[in-house]
Amino acid sequence: MLGRTPGLTFWRLLGSGRGASMSVGADLRRWALLAVWRDERDLDRFLSDSPVAERWRSEARESWQVRLAPLASRGRWNGVDPFGSLPASPSGPLSASPSAPLPARPSGLLPEGARGPDPGDPGGPVAVLTRASIRPARLVAFYRSVPGVDRLLAEQDGCLASVGVGEWPLARQGTFSLWRDAAAVRDFAHRGREHRRVIGRTRAEDWYSEELFARFSPYASEGTWDGADPLA
C-alpha cells in the first residue's frame, strides 16, 4: 500500500539490529520507515488518513518520528539520490519514523566528505544518515571494524541518539544519528583515530559497491525514543 501513497516519492522499510549496535542479529520487534515526501501536506494526510499509519500507531509500544529538511547528500541509494533535489526547507521534508524502542548508541561510519566548515550548517541539531551496500568479500572486515567505531561513538557527548538499520541482513546496512550540532559530527568523523583508520580502509579496500551520506536539519519531532524525545 505504501507504493500507492500520494506524494510519497521514495521510501524504505528498515529493520534494526539487537542491542545498541549494528549486529548480525535482527530485532524483529523494532523497525523504521524512511520516507521522502513531495509536499508536507502529503505527509500530514498520510498520518491522519492512512489505515497503514493508523495500524502502526495501534501496534507500536513506542514510536518516534522526526521531520527533516535536507542540507547535503552525496552518493546513491539503489542508483538514485533521493534527497539531492529537495530544498532545504520544510516544503520538501523527509520523514524518518522509527517505531518501538530504539537503541541509543550503535556504530556509524561517516565518510570523508563530512569534514570542514559547512555554509549549510543550520546552527542547531543535525541528523545524519549513512547507508552502504557491502561487498560480500568485505563483510568480515566490515563487521570486525564495528566494535572500535562503536566505542568511539559511545564516548561522544555530542551524539544525542543513534540507531543501526538495514534493508537486507548483513549486506545493506545504514545508521541514523542525531547530533547536538555540526561541530559534534565533524569531531566524531575526524578526531577519532579508529574512525579515520576504518574510513581509510573502506576506500583502499573498496568495501562498498554503493554508499550514501546525507545530512539534515530536524525541525519537528513527536513521540519518544527510549522513553524520551532526544530533540526535546
Q: How far lies 104's CA from each of 16, 18, 120, 163, 164, in Å?
A: 12, 12, 27, 6, 10
Higher per-residue pLDDT: 26 or 56: 56
* 188-224 b/e (C-beta count within 10 Å ≥ 16 → b): bbbebeebeebbeebeeeebbeebbbbbbbbbebebe
Tell me the chain's radius of gyration from C-alpha atoms.
17
Please provide the average confidence, as pLDDT, over all residues in the chain. 78
Q: pLDDT class for 96, splitting at 50, 70, 90?
A: low
Q: pLDDT class for 6, splitting at 50, 70, 90?
A: very high
* Residue 20: predicted pLDDT: 44
* Residue 121: predicted pLDDT: 67
Q: What is the pTM of this model?
A: 0.78
Q: Is 226 left (phi over 0), alpha (psi -120 to 50) or beta?
A: left
Q: How many CB atoms lie within 10 A of CB 170?
A: 15
**Residue range 61-84: average pLDDT?**
92
Higher per-residue pLDDT: 75 or 155: 75
Res. 60: pLDDT tops 70: yes
Contacts 24+ apart (CB under 8 A), 119-125: 120/71, 120/72, 120/88, 120/215, 121/71, 121/181, 121/182, 122/71, 122/182, 122/217, 123/181, 124/181, 124/217, 125/160, 125/178, 125/179, 125/180, 125/181, 125/217, 125/218, 125/231
